[in-house]
Structure 1
Amino acid sequence: MKANIVINKITQLIPVDEIKGPRRGIEMKNIRKIEDGIIAIYNNKIIYVGSGELPDHIQTDNDTIFIDGSGKTVLPGFVDAHTHLVHGGSRENELKMKLEGMSYMEILKSGGGILSSVKATKKATEEELAEKAMKVLDRMLKMGTTTVEAKSGYGLDVESEIKQLKVANKLNDVHPVDIVSTFLGAHAVPNEYKDDVDGFVEVVINDMIPKVSEQKLATFCDVFCEEGVFNIEQSKKILEAGKEHGLTPKIHADELYPMGGAQLSAQVGALTADHLAAAEEEGLLAMQREGVIANLLPGTSFNLNVGKYACGRQMIDMGLPVALSTDYNPGSCPTENIQLIMYLASLKYKMTAEEVISAVTINGASALGLQEKIGSLETDKNADIVILDVPNIDYILYHFGINHVDTVIKNGKIVVSDRKLIKE
């Protein structure tokens, strides 16, 4: 077999292999580190991972692209399993409100927050939404993110929710980054239903979910289970309805207040429970028993600046599989920089570099049900590879606030080289 691309002389190669599915507990820390590493790619697949020279059965010729990994660290492509990719407008005006002491929920109740983004998203055309999201994806790709989850939730009516999901699906066809869509019609309560939340829940269940499912626009169904938004009973009804229509449950759980969202994630068989900054031990134990992945979003806690972070260290020590994501959105966490998220997780959750890498690769892939295809560097897996201009993974976290990515290979194609996007 002839290799199209070979990365050789790699100073530190981290394949994150040997364990199928999400890593948990000590598995998150115990990852292989290969010196003088080498990877061979044929078309869109990895065909060899090891050290030293290629084995005899892997051939090269004058057409083979060789990439020198000297002084570099090579990782699986980063997986950002919680984003609000498609939206209209921005909310920089809320920074002043936050500095003046208004809370996230106070801004929302005043007509800002998610509801502000809803207005902007409804006004925007599909073309305008796609153009804005394309720029976001470009920035993510240059930061090493090769797969993202994209939620709706800035429509809150059938037409606008479908518009968001259609944009995400179209972008998946044209952009190198792979996009997995999530329906989040229950992201907030629209003003016309503020006195009839149950009525809006019925709209989500009886109108939105069937149409999203029928058009095959999403893989997952999510809900913002939070005080002042959707309670446990309402959230459960929505997630169970999603399951009936083939949508796997995810849940915004216990972000601001201990609502019992973690317990609910276990009850409904959610793939992930996200945020969890206010989750209680009972809920975390229920998640651990049912194998729910804790998808943590330290950038949101950092930006909200309320001093409340998820207990990431405790979660890992109790055996929960932990993933990390940006929560990219126009309000509570407007950043595409997953490397910043990795640093915050290390600082605020006391996660080691090895645990952080596990969280943004194989556990992120598992949080999207894609662990058989991406998330580790193994033979026959997709060739999603990030080359960082650092000598080891500790350096990624030590030298924070900059982009360490030099080269990105996505599905076997070089899409970022010398820190610049390569456009076809």
Structure 2
Amino acid sequence: MNLLGLIVEYNPFHNGHLYHLNESKKITNATHTIAVMSGNFMQRGTPALLDKFIRAEMAVKNGVDLVVELPTLYACQSAEIFSHGGITLLNSLNCVNSVCFGSEIGNIDILYLIAEILIDEPEIFKNKLKNYLGDGLPFPKARASALFDYISKNNLYDTSKETLLEILNSPNNILGIEYIKSILKLNSKIKPYTINRVNSGYNSLNVNDSICSASAIRNALKSNTLDTINYTMPKHTYDIINDVVKNGFNLVYNDDFYEILSSIILRDKDNLTDYFEVNEGIENKIYNSIFKCQNIEELQNEIKSKRYTMTKISRTLNNIMLGIKREDIIKTKDLNELPYLRVLAFNDKGCEILKEIKKSSEIEVITKFSKIKHIDSEIFNTLINYDIKATNMYNLIYNKSTLKGPVDYITSPKYIK
């Protein structure tokens, strides 16, 4: 078995994802694929358009063999924590051969070199970085300048300072560097590959081609019918979204959670700093802003400043809403192994992967939640309880009309024949 790992969100699965999946299989010669997918809340601190079981079904119907959940504590955080969670889960299985990710640069050599320097932090590089910061350069420019000086001085790679700055400011390059850093930290045998992202940028809202960003598709679905953008997604994705809407489920957006979020902020006014990334006085800005706003977009704009980017604000608000405590992130963010594998969907090849995992690893494979009551582990319970809580909160919006109990306990992984 040549097992390819992917770390994904599939929110929703579109033509760009299909291209990445097929190209990844080609360049790695993979016989089987496993995707570690964010659950119901995304890396940028927003809810998923569709729930994790439906998105996992989409992925398997479009060619992934096994989809498992990236624990919530990793899925909603910075590139560093998100990437470490995904790579650590794949590495914990002891049978994944490769991981392939999309990047703007499409060149594994320069990403690998940058990751090595950032891991090793040679003295020359650290001194250069300190000097540039002392000169008043913003951190991204200071780091790019220090990297350029170190790389050029040692003739490690032929590049320019402008190229390095562009690499370090591109979201998928950043994720790729963090994936490689995690592989190096773990001394993992997983081999990293990358392919170019095609067409629209990560956050582009333009729907003008058959391959566009997931952000553009989600945005278009707010104001258009599914039929107007069906050319942006595989037929399986179109059919599944169509069925979901017909069956009375709600496509979920950020503002759907505004009342829940505002209530929690008002209730926890004196304890907001317990939550991860609520620091540097942002708690006061959040509390004071809640009285002036009618939705999450207004709240984010009210809080935004030179100190706080929109992405940081979005993740911070999401941490408050999901109750993600700083102490729990500290406890789990640097683990060398993850204690469980939550199965969301699979096909026959996925069954073969699960058999291989059980032979090669001691990881707890969760298909039925009734089993978890008997596991006595602080780390396990910290991680799994956030997954359960996040799923329950999500389904108050997504599945409210037919909700009959905690969804993780009453929903089985989807087997796709």
TM beyond 0.5: no
Structure (1/2) with the larger strand percentage: 1
Q: Which has the higher contact order (CA 8 A, sep 6+)?
A: 2
TM-score normalised to the size of structure 2? 0.26
TM-score normalised to the size of structure 1? 0.26
Structure (1/2) with the larger helix percentage: 2
